[in-house]
Homo-oligomer: A and B are copies of this chain.
């Protein structure tokens, strides 16, 4: 079994359909868009935290995550060693996606206009409520309780605040398990440096 041919678009990456199905099946659960992102910090220490899925970057498979540039240590560590593995467990459909790839960090200090633009696009794609999280008290954690938000205001047409940092994870390998059907599929990207890429799948 193999993924689409060389002409396959990102949207037809074979694991994307499985992921979309899982998102749909678990959409009634607020936490279905939460996953755990593992990275490697100073001294080779693994780090693992819950973050929120912010959709895919346009025309690609890159997974977007909003973070807070005030978590300087984390951002620094990821810039230093940009490998990550997402573990995304869907609690209702009993499906697990392990997605590993390279992480790109886009904060306001990026010298690359394309990245600044991408960061701005992701900022405006986020809800005003979620933008307010960058003004919240706890950098680095999803804010489920937005009580603090009552006293904070933000101009909906204003661009990204300094604290806003966009991460994108570019998947290279996706390990899928369905614990109900005992189905396991492993997807591996066979082309490097291609926005859409090509994928091989095996059971």
Contacts and interface: CB of A to CB of B under 8 A. Distances in A.
Contacts of A196: none
A147 B38 CA distance: 32
Contacts of A84: 46
User: How many copies of this chain sit in the oligomeric assembly?
Assistant: 2
A186 B143 CA distance: 18
A86 B144 contact: no
Contacts of A180: 144-145
Nearest to A92: B31
Interface of A: 29, 31, 34, 36-40, 44-50, 81, 83-87, 89, 91, 94, 96, 98, 100, 137-138, 141-145, 147-148, 177, 179-182, 184
A179 B34 contact: no
Contacts of A49: 87, 96, 98
Contacts of A148: 182
Contact of A147 (B34, B83, B182): B182
B143 A85 contact: no
User: Can you list the 6 inter-chain pairs with the closest CB atoms, starting with the nearest?
Assistant: A38-B38, A38-B48, A48-B87, A36-B36, A144-B179, A38-B46
Contacts of A83: 44-46
Nearest to A140: B177
Contacts of A98: 47-49
Which of A34, A40, A84 has its CB near the most chain B CB atoms (within 10 A)? A40
A94 B184 contact: no
Given A38-B47, A143-B179, 13 more contacts: A34-B91, A36-B38, A39-B46, A40-B45, A45-B100, A46-B84, A46-B85, A46-B100, A47-B98, A48-B87, A137-B182, A145-B180, A148-B182
